Structures are given as structure tokens and as C-alpha cells.
Amino acid sequence: MSRQERSYASKLSEHLAYTVLKILNDNEGNMLLSEILEKLENTQEIRESEKERNPRGDIKWQTSMKFSAHMFVEAGYLRKKGGIWHITPEGEKALESGEQQCIEKVKKIYKEKIIEKKKKTDINNNKDGIESDKVDISEYESEVTSDKIDIDEYESLAKTSIKKYIDSLTPYQFQDLCAALIRGMGYYVRDVSPAGPDGGIDIIAYTDPLGGKPPRIKIQVKHYTTGKKIPEGDVQRLAGLVGNEDIGVFMTSAGFSRGCKIESYKRPQHIELIDYERFVELWVNHYDKLSEEDKLLLPLHPIYFLSQNNKSN
């Protein structure tokens, strides 16, 4: 690769990583990696040479973008969890400074972290210290892409396949899935609403088999497959059905608008919000406690990776 090509690839990856922040900021703060890549491909101008695959079989622009995104993670602007990427409050603020200033700050922070890591591991044995302008960020790309990025890919693939499966369910099948999760969490489900009007409550559960002990748990379920967000008005309506000794739970296969979280906090009633991401997290965490029948509603198979914290430097 020529110097000019390397320069283009580097600038492109930084631009795309910054664009990821903008995309997340415009989409309620979080998206699946697969959705981010699709949006980048459809909206950004990328040379054909960058659409080719590298020796590992990965698309070049995607690999380099993920490396730059890793720098944004190190800077605290971006967070990755289980294949879903989130913009942090610091990332939202960084967008206000503009692309060039934001990227330069990210690179500065990343260089400082590299220097600190070198000092701790004594890689260079440089008694006088390591100068920032002598650190080449690109030297660390292969380490990141062959390690952390692979795990991101697998997590994203897993989350995407689970999302497609959940999207294929009918509203009442997803409602049954939610009831199964509630049972797996140790609650006793008394009622699951049949087809037809339900008055805003789809599932009622208790903390004991007879329902004699408070709180009563009133659950509303919304199944969306189009990327639609739950508006805060829906949370307000649920709150109106939740008494002083009740807990209100809103479960959805989609996400919540930003106003929903604020609305749930300011209500005197306890209103719990469970979006797609949290639903899958709870399903995984409580999977072993589900009945064999309930497991079949969303069967999972665990895959284990060596923890990043345990790898030697």
C-alpha cells in the first residue's frame, strides 16, 4: 500500500468513527454494530479499494473503522456492550466541537494511554520517558483488530441473530417470551392477556404463589420490528395504571425514546423499563433458571472467550 493510500485509509477510518458518534446520537444513543455498518455503507463515500477484503477476509474499511472506534472507546466517547454500541455523555459533548477537533482529542488521549501502558510494562526501557510525537498509533492496529474487534464481531453476530429471531415473533409470542423471563426471575405469573383489548396491562405477576404479598407487578408489552421507539406518553399511561403498592414494568423488543427514562424517574411509582438490549441481557443471566419448556422459546448456546483482563501485555 502506498503512502497516499495509507493516508486515505487512515483519514477515512477516523471520519467513519466520528460519523458513528453522529449516527448513535441521532438514533437514541445506541445501535447494533450490524446496523451501524449498514448505515455507514449506505451514506458514506468509500473507495472501491477499501471495499476489498484483507488477508484475514475482513472488509478493509470496516476493520480500520473499528480500530478508530476503539480509540473513541479509550477516550470515553463510545461504549460497546454485547454487540451494541452506545454514545456516552462525553461523546455527545465532543460532537459539539466538530469533527477535526474531536478526532485530534481522541488521538491525543489514545497516545497518552499507549505511553502509560509502555511505562507500566517497561517495553522500551526508556529511562527518559516516551515522547508523544514518537508514538505511531497505527502500530497498534493489528493488536486491536485481531483481538478486541473479533469479539465485537461475534457478539454483534449473536445479537443480530437473536434480534432477527425475536423480530419474527408475533406480538403474542413475544408476550409469552416476556412472561417466561418473569418466571425465570423468580416471580409468579398469574395472568397473561389473551388476544383482544387488555386495558394496558399484558402480564400480572406476584412475589409469592398466592399473590398475598405486595408488590403486584403490572407489565405492559410492546413488540416492534421497525426500529420504532416507545414514546414517553406510553410510559405515562402505564404509570396511570400502577398503584402505590404496585411495580410497573414496560417491556419491548425495540427501544425507548430518551424522554421515557426521564418520565420513569420522575414518577412516584416504580416504573422499570426493559428494552431489547436489557431483555436479552436478563434472558442470558437467568437462562439457567428457566424451565426447559420456557428455554425453548428462545434457546441459547454459550460460547466462551478468554477474558481481555487476563491476557498478558
- Cell numbers linked to 41: 455503507
Q: How many CB atoms within 10 Å of residue 8?
A: 15
Strand partners, 220: 250
- Cell numbers linked to 170: 408475533
Whole-number pLDDT of residue 109? 92
Model confidence pLDDT, tens digit, residues 184-238 = 999 999 989 886 665 789 999 999 999 999 999 999 999 997 778 899 999 999 9
DSSP designation for 215 = P
Rounded to whole angstroms, how far apart are CA atoms 34 and 157?
8
- Cell numbers linked to 302: 454459550
**Alpha helix positions (H), 44-188:** 60-74, 89-95, 99-121, 141-145, 148-167, 171-184
Whole-number pLDDT of residue 313? 44
- Cell numbers linked to 125: 526501557
Model confidence pLDDT, tens digit, residues 141-193 = 555 555 555 677 777 778 888 989 999 999 999 999 999 999 999 999 998 98
Cβ–Cβ under 8 Å, residues 292 and 299: no
pTM: predicted TM-score of the whole model, two decimal places: 0.69
